[in-house]
Amino acid sequence: MSDTPTPKTPAKPGAKQPRTGSSAGQGREDRLKAALKANMARRKAQSKARQADPGDKPGGA
């Protein structure tokens, strides 16, 4: 065995890299979970802001 790393062949432009095992799926799930959590927090903050300011109703002033 030699200690020198073998050069990797360059991938074709636009070609997708193969993903192995469930690590790829797990990473996607983690990203989706984080995005959902951020979205829910944003919606909750918007809802609270709307309830705190009843003077901003459409058709008012």
In terms of residue numbers, what domain contains 40?
Answer: 27-52
| Residue 14 in domain | no
* Degrees, nearest 5: CA angle 3-10-16: 120
Q: According to the model, what pLDDT value does residue 2 have?
A: 60
Asked if residue 33 is part of any domain, the answer here is: yes
Residue 17 lies in a domain: no
User: Could you give the maximum distance between any two Cα atoms of the chain, in Å?
Assistant: 81
Say which residue, 31 or 15, is predicted with more confidence. 31
pLDDT at 23: 80
Give the total number of structural domains in the chain. Answer: 1
Query: Which 3 state secondary structure label does DSSP give 10?
Result: coil
Say if 1 falls within a structural domain: no
Give the list of residues 6+ apart from residue 46 with CB closer than 8 angstroms, or none. none
In a domain? residue 35? yes
Q: Which pLDDT does position 44 carry in this prediction?
A: 97
Q: HSE of 7 in the Cβ direction (CA atoms, 13 Å)?
A: 2
The answer as to whether 12 is a domain residue is no
pLDDT at 55 over 90: no
Q: Which contacts (CB < 8 Å, 24+ apart) does range 53-59 have?
A: none
pLDDT tens digits for 22-51?
787 899 999 999 999 999 999 999 999 999
pLDDT category of residue 15 using cuts at 50, 70 and 90: low
